[in-house]
């Protein structure tokens, strides 16, 4: 066989393989994310719902990088070049996005980290990259990302010499714009969204809190407007029991931002760094609180609380 054909025998399967991979990545972001997200393969990152339980002395620097694919008329930039975090420490950072065109457009962010093997330790609690996102004409928003690096990073010998990780996002035009969320939810004057609050509550609070029963944490059904430490039958920390606080919207906001800062000695091991998420969760708690007080009226009770 002549040399040219022999080369083709090798090259053609390579190109076919490459084309299939590119096809999968380009046309099936869900598949790409499902696969890469599950394995940490290729420098994608993990999605976390809970806080890490430990922090470590070791630090790592996260550098941020952003790109916009051709065809999406957006400006998209990190608002900080880099941050240094302790392993296990939650961090809130912002990216800004602006639609430079006269039309609403939907974008979709893909992301990866370098070195790629560090991806399995990189956990995002909140990120715009979980959704298709719409920006109205000339709208500009600041988008929060909350993340932490898993303390298990310190135990992986492959990470011994890694002291910096680059987190890189690319926004491209969305392939399925009809499912998009609206980025206007990140505008400073956006109204709190109780439906999103319920989603966040299920992800981040319901492991410890129910509405009508005490679990690891006290029941929260009627918490808004009530004194702290007053759920019947719950064994509170002495600090919270004697805190003399009433759970107004503002106090709940401070509590969720840092329970031990508001009540030194309190036992809740969770913080919600992003203010908009806090406002949505509190809006949800207010809403279920109103339903709970309606329970005095049997008709309103018939439908029961929504979980």
Give contact residues for ligand HEC (rule: CB under 6 A). Answer: 204-205, 207-209, 216-218, 220, 223, 228-231, 236-237, 239-240, 247, 252, 255-256, 266-270, 272, 281
Q: Which residue number, 149 or 228, has a Cβ lying nearer to ligand HEC? A: 228
| Cβ 222 to ligand HEC shortest distance, Å | 10
| Cβ 209 to ligand HEC shortest distance, Å | 5
Cβ neighbors of 2 (< 8 A, separation 6 or more) are none
| Cβ 44 to ligand HEC shortest distance, Å | 25
| Cβ 301 to ligand HEC shortest distance, Å | 22
Q: Which residue number, 74 or 284, has a Cβ lying nearer to ligand HEC? A: 284
Q: Which residue number, 97 or 256, has a Cβ lying nearer to ligand HEC? A: 256
Q: Which residue number, 117 or 214, has a Cβ lying nearer to ligand HEC? A: 214
Q: Is 63 helix (H, G, I), strand (E, B) or coil?
A: strand
The angle formed by the CA atoms of residues 167, 173 and 174, to the nearest 5 degrees, is 95
Strand-pairing partners, residue 201, are: none
Q: Which residue number, 126 or 170, has a Cβ lying nearer to ligand HEC? A: 126
Assess contact for 270 and 204: CB atoms under 8 A.
yes
Among 19, 49, 44, smallest CA distance to 31 is for: 44
Residue spans of alpha helices (H) in 66-204: 194-204
| Cβ 28 to ligand HEC shortest distance, Å | 33
Assess contact for 106 and 74: CB atoms under 8 A.
no
Assess contact for 116 and 43: CB atoms under 8 A.
yes
């Amino acid at each position: 066989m002549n040399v040219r054909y022999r080369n083709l025998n090798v090259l053609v399967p390579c190109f076919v393989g490459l084309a299939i991979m590119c096809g999968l990545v380009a046309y099936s972001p869900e598949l790409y994310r499902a696969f890469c997200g599950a394995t940490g393969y290729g420098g994608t990152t993990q999605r976390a719902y809970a806080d890490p339980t430990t922090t470590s002395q070791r630090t790592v620097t996260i550098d941020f990088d952003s790109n916009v694919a051709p065809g999406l008329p957006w400006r998209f930039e990190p608002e900080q070049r880099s941050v240094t975090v302790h392993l296990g420490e939650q961090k809130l950072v912002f990216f800004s996005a602006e639609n430079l065109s006269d039309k609403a457009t939907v974008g979709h962010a893909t992301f990866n980290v370098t070195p790629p093997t560090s991806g399995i330790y990189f956990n995002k609690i909140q990120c715009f990259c979980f959704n298709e996102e719409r920006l109205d004409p000339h709208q500009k928003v600041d988008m929060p990302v909350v993340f932490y690096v898993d303390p298990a990073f310190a135990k992986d010998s492959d990470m011994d010499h890694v002291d910096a990780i680059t987190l890189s996002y690319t926004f491209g035009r969305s392939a399925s714009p009809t499912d998009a969320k609206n980025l206007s939810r990140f505008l400073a004057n956006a109204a709190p969204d109780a439906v999103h609050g319920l989603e966040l509550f299920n992800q981040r609070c319901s492991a410890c809190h129910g509405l009508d029963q005490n679990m690891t944490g006290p029941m929260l059904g009627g918490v808004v407007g009530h004194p702290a430490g007053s759920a019947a039958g719950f064994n509170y920390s002495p600090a919270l029991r004697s805190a003399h606080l009433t759970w107004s919207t503002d106090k709940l906001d401070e509590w969720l931002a840092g329970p031990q800062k508001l009540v030194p000695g309190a036992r809740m091991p969770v913080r919600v760094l992003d203010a908009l998420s806090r406002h949505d969760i509190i809006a949800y708690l207010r809403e279920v609180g109103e339903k709970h007080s309606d329970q005095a009226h049997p008709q309103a009770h018939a439908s029961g609380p929504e979980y």
